Amino acid sequence: MSAITVRVPAKVNLQLAVGPLREDGYHDLVNVFHAVSIFDEVTAAEPGDVSAAAPPLTVRIEGESAGEVPANDDNLAVRAARALAGHAGRSYRADLLIRKSIPVAGGMAGGSADAAAALVACNELWGLGLPVEDLMEIAADVGSDVPFALLGGTAVGTGRGERLSRLETSGAFHWVFALADGGLSTPRVYGECDRLREEAGTDPGLPVASEPLLAALREGDAAALGRALTNDLQPAALSLRPSLAHTLHAGAELGALGSLVSGSGPTCAFLAASETHAAEIAAGLKNAEGCRAAVTATGPVPGAVVVG
């Protein structure tokens, strides 16, 4: 095969519980991931230039905010492909093409999604035949959110978020995502979270999963799920980007069942009662302060899959 294309979803964090800062610089998390129908596609192709001077891995980016994504070795998809080749113990080549629809630096794990897609695409292109268990291990070394992009569906992540357990869900949930201008740095948001806690003298303790949220997922109860949505990073995101408060208020005024900043932000997520309700919220949010666009999606959806 000369080229493999993989489609991979965005995620929203239904619960993001952040524990105290660890000695290794990370935080213990309870992270309830939910894959939604906003997708990137990554194509891994045999390189046109196979000369010794040519780099073994190249990357191009097209689509949503393509200019904001690094087109060099710092790209997570390139790092994932390199990690896969290292795991196989050989030097492999590939040209990667990323088609973006997931917001960049938007708290929806677009870079991690691309890394997961690159793992699946290069595994096929190079004929490695590695099982998903091996890919999950490599993914965890690349980034905390990369394993979930492989898995998809709904899952709870612990540790840094990389240790995953699938969660039982019923039916589909309807979402609206308000996209903001520009992004937010995930390390900066975590740092602000730590600063705000220190300033307030707050000891967060070890994070635990929300039983009301897990029950709402099992029962397919959108209203209960909306009431249970939580994100410990939200105060930090609002501190760094105060305009997000206006977006969240606008969604509540439009009748959203629940809302929160997605991950480290600045994307805001709103849960709707139905597909029609989601369309109504999206239409109303397009005029909200700080919202450059609003898109609808459903979840859960599968993780990275070969589509061509």
Which of 168, 186, 216 is the endpoint of a domain?
168
Query: Which residues contact residue 191 at a Cβ distance below 8 angstroms, ignoring those fewer than 6 apart?
Result: none
Phi, psi of 284 (to 5 degrees): -70, -35
Report the percentage of the chain scoring pLDDT > 90. 81
- CATH number, domain containing residue 38: 3.30.230.10
- Tell me, what's the pLDDT at 54? 83
Which of 168, 195, 210 is the endpoint of a domain?
168
Q: Is residue 304 part of a domain?
A: no
Q: Is residue 135 part of a domain?
A: yes
Q: Is 236 helix (H, G, I), strand (E, B) or coil?
A: helix
Confirm or deny that 294 is annotated as ligand binding. Answer: no
Same domain assignment for residues 216 and 279: yes
Confirm or deny that 104 is annotated as ligand binding. Answer: yes
**Closest by CA position to 299, among listed 10, 5, 7, 8:** 10
Report the percentage of the chain scoring pLDDT > 70. 99
pLDDT mean over 92-119:
94
Confirm or deny that 136 is annotated as ligand binding. Answer: no
pLDDT mean over 12-21:
94
Residue 271: pLDDT over 90: yes
- CATH number, domain containing residue 270: 3.30.70.890
Same domain assignment for residues 78 and 114: yes
- Tell me, what's the pLDDT at 266? 93
Least confident of 65-69, 224-228, 298-302: 65-69
Q: Is residue 149 part of a domain?
A: yes
- Tell me, what's the pLDDT at 211? 97
Active site amino acids: 11, 145
Same domain assignment for residues 275 and 293: yes
Confirm or deny that 112 is annotated as ligand binding. Answer: yes
* Residue labelled with tokens 């859960």: 300
User: C-alpha dihedral over 118, 120, 125, 130, to 10 degrees?
Assistant: 130
Same domain assignment for residues 85 and 211: no
CA separation for the pair 55, 95 (Å, rounded): 9
Residue 50 corresponds to which tokens in the numbers above? 């196979």
Residue 146: pLDDT over 90: yes
Least confident of 50-54, 135-139, 285-289: 50-54
The pairs formed by 45-53 with CB atoms below 8 angstroms and a separation of 24 or more are 45/2, 45/3, 45/4, 45/94, 45/95, 45/96, 45/97, 45/125, 46/2, 46/3, 46/93, 46/94, 46/95, 46/125, 47/93, 47/94, 47/95, 48/95, 50/93
pTM for this structure?
Answer: 0.92
Confirm or deny that 1 is annotated as ligand binding. Answer: no
Confirm or deny that 105 is annotated as ligand binding. Answer: yes
Confirm or deny that 6 is annotated as ligand binding. Answer: no
Q: Is residue 307 part of a domain?
A: no
Q: Looking at the 3D structure of the chain, how many domains does it have?
A: 2
Same domain assignment for residues 209 and 151: no
Residue 178: pLDDT over 70: yes
- Tell me, what's the pLDDT at 288? 85
Residue 155: pLDDT over 70: yes
pLDDT class of 183 with cuts at 50, 70, 90: confident
Residue 29: pLDDT over 80: yes
Residue 1: pLDDT over 70: no
Same domain assignment for residues 201 and 65: no
Domain residues for 159? 3-168
Residue 49: pLDDT over 80: no
Same domain assignment for residues 94 and 131: yes
CA separation for the pair 199, 177 (Å, rounded): 31
Residue 285 corresponds to which tokens in the numbers above? 């949010």
Which of 168, 198, 216 is the endpoint of a domain?
168
